[in-house]
Every structure is written in structure tokens, then in C-alpha cells.
Amino acid sequence: MLAEIRGRSQITIPAEIIKKLGICEGDKFEVMEKDGGIFLCPVVVYPKEKLLQIAKLIKNSELDVSNQKEFDTVEDMFTDMGINIDNV
């Protein structure tokens, strides 16, 4: 497929490729030049505050894992939780 550079250095990506890759208006791309070729790689950009929230969630989940108990049976786990399975 051929594409042509238009004003303001714009290129239209053929509709067939857009549909196949599920590209939408506003999607972002890393643009790279290598060996005389131009390559577009889709990327996701997250705001810094969202990344900090994700990092905090990961840190908290790691702490939760280190504090978890290990049980030999499901019954032992329920007993530790204060659940009497004999009455269920």
C-alpha cells in the first residue's frame, strides 16, 4: 500500500490497517527511524499520578502477601477466620 506525505508532515494510514489493528483517533505511537525506514509502535501513556497510584497498590499488595498465613487445610483457614463450617 502506498501512502503520501501531506501538509504538516501528515500521512494517512490505510483504513484496512487501522481496522485490523484496532487503532482509534487519539492513540499514541512511538515513531522510530531505523536503517532508512520509519516505524510506528503503539504505546499507552499513563499520567504520572496514575503510575504513582499503581506503584502504591503494588507495594501494599507485596506487604499483604508477606503477612499472609499458610494453612494446611481449608478447614484450618475457616477456623482462623472465625467461621465454623460444621454449622454450614
pTM above 0.85, yes or no: no
40 in Cβ contact with 47 (< 8 Å): no
DSSP assignments along 12-28, one per residue: PPPHHHHHHHT--TT-E
Average pLDDT over residues 55-67: 78
Q: Residue 31: is its pLDDT beyond 90?
A: yes
Average pLDDT for residues 44-60, to the nearest whole number?
87
Rounded Cα distance, 39 and 69, in Å: 50
The band of 63, judged by pLDDT with boundaries at 50, 70 and 90, is confident
pLDDT at residue 69 tops 70: yes
